[in-house]
Structure 1
Amino acid sequence: MGKVSDVVYPELRTTQKLSSDGSNFIIWKLKFAFVLTDHQFPHLISPSPADPTWDDQSPDALRLILRSLDENLRNEFRENHTPASIMEALLSRFSPTLKRFPAINLRRYMSCRMDPDTEINRHIFRMRAIAKELEYGAGIKIPDDVQATFLLNSLPEEWGKDVERLLRDLDGREEDLSFVNFSRRLRTLRDVKQLNNYIDSEKKRKRANGVCSSCGEQGHYMSDCPDQGSPKQEDFSVSFGPFGVPISEPTVTEIWYPDLKTNYRIGYNGPNSFTTWKLEISDVLEDIGVDYVLKEPEPSDPADSGSEEDALRYKKWHADDFTCRHLILGTMEDDVFLSFYDYPTAKSLMAAVEAFFNSASAAQKLVRLKRYMSHYMSDETPTMNHLRDTDVLLSKLRSSGMDIPSEMRSVVLMNSLPGSWDQIASALEMKLSTDKENGWSYDNVWKEVRDAGQFKELLEKNQADDSVSHDNAIDGRKNKRVLRGKCYSCGRSGHYQSHCPIS
Structure 2
Amino acid sequence: MAQSSNMSTAITSLNVMPQDLSKLDRFDGNNYKRWKEKVEFLLTTLKVRYVLVTPCPAVSIENATKDQIAAKAKWEDDNYTCRGNILNTLTDSLFDMYAPMKQAKEIWDALENKYKTKDSRNKSYLVSNYFDFKITDNKPILNQVHDLQLIVHQIIAEGIPIDEKFQVGTIIAKLPSSWKDYRKTLKRKGDFLNLESLQRQLRIEEARLRDKQEENAKMTKAAHVVEIDNKKGKRPWAGDSSTKENNKKKKKGACHFCKKKGHYIKECRLKKKKDQANTVEESLVAVITEVNLVSHNAGCWVDIGATRHICSDKNLFKKYEKVGDEIELYMENSSTTKVAGKGIIELKFTSGKSVT
Structure 1-normalised TM-score? 0.36
Higher strand share: 2
Structure 2-normalised TM-score? 0.49
Higher helix share: 1
User: Quick check: which has more Rg, 1 or 2?
Assistant: 2
